[in-house]
Amino acid sequence: MSIITPVAEATVVDLAVRTVREVNQCLHDAESGTSWLIENPAGQHNVAVGIDRELDVTVEGNVGYYFAGMHQRGTVRVHGSAGVGLAENIMSGTVHVTGDASQSTGATGHGGLVVVEGNTGARCGISMKGVDIVVGGSIGHASAFMAQAGRLVVCGDAGEALGDSIYEARIYVRGTVASLGADCVEKEMRAEHIAEVAELLQRAGRPEDPSEFRRYGSARTLYHFHVDNAGAY
């Protein structure tokens, strides 16, 4: 179930006739509370980066690398798929993709919500610092590597080395996990964690049962260097 809704009374900009720089400048100059519809993205890179006001932006089609990077405020939706670095370093607001996303989704994100209805590639949530990420499908290997804070919810499966060298981020996976990375362990799924997953699924418009997820996090054995753990660093 998607939370994507049509944009009413939107200003339409066409990437077939305007450059990415021009379109991004329109969004940076726009008044808060306005809606925008971007047509014909054709997989171009760096679309809708650095939005710092309360806009409602919908993109019709696939986007390339670093879509909605450094996102700070408002909601950005993609009716399609996204390339590498979706919502990299997001600070707040919402970024929602109806299709798939490539590697490094939500990398280094400090806040906000990233929703991918399909699958993501490797390193989803790498070095996340407070962002919430909900993936409707599966994620690739080395996801949540060195994840420091935030929550990653995966409705499908997770690839190898999940949560390698994780700090205090929380990972929830409904499907299977190929393998866990260094210092990442499965943890008890208590009532407060089920409630947390339920809240995130609701925000993402997902129908899954939160009680079907398992929780993973840090064993906290690599916080300080110890010679006995040298091989894991």
Residue 171's CATH number: 2.160.20
Using alpha carbons, select from 122, 119, 167, 127 the residue that is nearest to residue 144: 127
Total count of domains within the chain = 1
- Enclosing domain of residue 50: 11-218
pLDDT tens sequence for the chain (233 residues): 444 444 458 999 999 999 999 999 999 999 999 999 999 999 999 999 999 999 999 999 999 999 999 999 999 999 999 999 999 999 999 999 999 999 999 999 999 999 999 999 999 999 999 999 999 999 999 999 999 999 999 999 999 999 999 999 999 999 999 999 999 999 999 999 999 999 999 999 999 999 999 999 999 887 666 666 666 55
> Would you state the structure tokens that stand for residue 132, as one six-digit string?
């919430």
Give me the pLDDT at residue 6, please.
46
Residue 230 counted as domain residue: no
Single-letter amino acid, residue 87: A
Single-letter amino acid, residue 73: R
Residues 6 or more apart whose CB falls under 8 angstroms from that of 29 comprise none
pTM of the model: 0.93
DSSP-assigned states of every residue in 78-137: EES-B-TTTTTT--SSEEEESS-B-SSTTTT--SSEEEESS-B-TTTTTT-EEEEEEESS
Residue 223 counted as domain residue: no
Give me the pLDDT at residue 8, please.
57
